[in-house]
Copies of this chain bind each other. A is one copy, B any other.
Amino acid sequence: MIEAALEKWFQFIHGEDAADRSALLDECLADDVVFYSPIVFTPQKGRAAAKLYLMAAGSAFGGDDSAAAAPAGGNEAGGGFRYTKQVVTGHHAILEFETTMDGTYVNGVDIITCNEAGKVVEFKVMIRPLQAINRVHAEMGALLKKLQGEPDAA
């Protein structure tokens, strides 16, 4: 059920062209998708809000193992984003990942749920350990502020 959306998601993760990546998110996310941040309680409703967060996360975490895809800002460890577990059944895909952000180890999970049409209706991210959460909070907050011109968000 969720396989087609997941294929688009992996193309997004490994993509490099911003317009292509935006189109891939449009194809896999439902209009009424809800994004749940690892940091803030409030669900982000609708495709536009979800895309904002997912594009920012893609930028902050680095989209690939290659040095070229490392996040801007001098990440010494070179990004190194990789999925370490993929558990997929029916409407759910749960993807565990590891990466580094400015030398801080980040371990997280994408919890993705699709509707009957195979479009993503819920996208939730959790991260560990505490040090990684604090790092992601700082980086994502700054990125989202830049992207949306709002004073405080993550």
Contact = CB atoms under 8 A, between A and B. Distances in A.
A39 interface: yes
Q: How many copies of this chain sit in the oligomeric assembly?
A: 2
A57 interface: no
Interface stretch (A46-54, A60-68, A129-137, A144-152): A129-137
Contacts of A125: 128
A37 B127 CA distance: 11
A105 B96 CA distance: 23
A89 to B, nearest CB: 5
A77 interface: no
A111 interface: yes
A129 B89 contact: no
A39 B130 contact: yes
Contacts of A107: 36, 124, 126
Given A94-B94, A96-B111, A111-B109, A128 B89 contact: no
Given A39-B128, A40-B130, A126-B128, 6 more contacts: A85-B111, A85-B113, A87-B88, A94-B111, A108-B126, A130-B133
7 contacts: A36-B107, A38-B130, A41-B129, A85-B113, A94-B111, A107-B124, A125-B128
